[in-house]
Structure 1
């Protein structure tokens, strides 16, 4: 049942990404192009997502536990460290250059556009390198660049 509900949630989320235009890199890049053909509609999509997320969390925290799990999976750390900042910067650069973030990239895969066929393998390579590089001095908070 949990897998089925996860699949259904993913399909609804993907449909929302497609309907909102988030799977269209041109829409994303136009949102980021403040000096050119700026398209503010993506800001409304993000604002709506923030409101829905806020309300959803308020409802979820009223429950003792999730319906299909023993407890909520909540991060234990609130530290802002070098790996977090580096990861956020890389995510933002990738989003700004490619016009995709990971979720919409997967929903755009059936289009088989050259952009998505380049972005997805590079995203997967970056995820793999990031997982392998966790112990590299650049990524650790005790070593690397100062």
Structure 2
């Protein structure tokens, strides 16, 4: 029973997350590109979306430090590495460049794919190919 409740809650949380991405405009690549275009048609509205996400994330990490078990049971696995490494910097630069070029990052791209955006299909296919290549050739950096 507990496992089914956990699956349903995960599904509902995913739906809520997807709806939030749609309502905020994060799944619209043009809105993202306008946010990144500081010298042109700049749209600062995503600052509030990202700020809200950072606040929720910080609150979640703060509360999780006091717990030893996940909300629905089981071990709570939190990141332990704190150093800034070369692969982290390179990965961040690649992620940022891809976000700036395509106007998508992984979560919003999947939502846009579900909404029928053809551009999202190309992005998600490239993202999955990149993940497969990384898993195949760069396994030494797994934590």
TM-score (norm 2): 0.86
Q: Give the equivalent residue in structure 2 for 1:142.
A: none
Look up the match of 1:143.
none
Provide closer, same or farther for how the CA distance between residues 78 and 56 of structure 1 changes in structure 2, counting only shifts above 3 A: closer
TM-score with structure 1 setting the length? 0.84
Q: Distance in 2 between matches of 1:62 and 1:49?
A: 21
Q: Verify the 8 A CA contact 2:68 2:76 in the aligned structure 1.
A: no
Is 1:18 aligned to 2:18, yes or no? no
Candidates 53, 59, 64, aligned match of 1:60: 64
Once the two structures are superposed, the pairs formed by residues 24-43 of structure 1 within 5 Å of their partners are 24-43=28-47
Unaligned runs of 5+ in 1: 140-146
1:63-102 counterparts in 2 under 5 A? 63-102=67-106
Following superposition, the deviation at residue 64 of structure 1 comes to: 4.0
SS at match of 2:138: helix
The alpha-carbon distance between structure 1 residues 133 and 44, as it changes in their structure 2 partners (threshold 3 A), is same
Q: 2:121 aligns with which of 109, 112, 117?
A: 117
- Between the aligned partners of 1:64 and 1:79, the Cα distance in structure 2 is 23
Query: What is the deviation of 1:111?
Result: 3.0
Number of aligned positions between the proteins: 137
Shift of 1:135: 5.2
| Residues 114, 86 of structure 1: alpha-carbon distance in 2 compared, 3 angstrom cutoff | same
- Where does residue 130 of structure 2 map in the other structure? 126
- Of stretches 33-42 and 44-53 in structure 1, the one that deviates more from structure 2 is 44-53
1:46 aligns with 2:50: yes
Q: Distance in 1 between matches of 2:84 and 2:58?
A: 22
Q: Distance in 1 between matches of 2:101 and 2:24?
A: 20
Provide closer, same or farther for how the CA distance between residues 63 and 81 of structure 1 changes in structure 2, counting only shifts above 3 A. closer
How far apart are 1:71 and its partner, in Å? 2.5
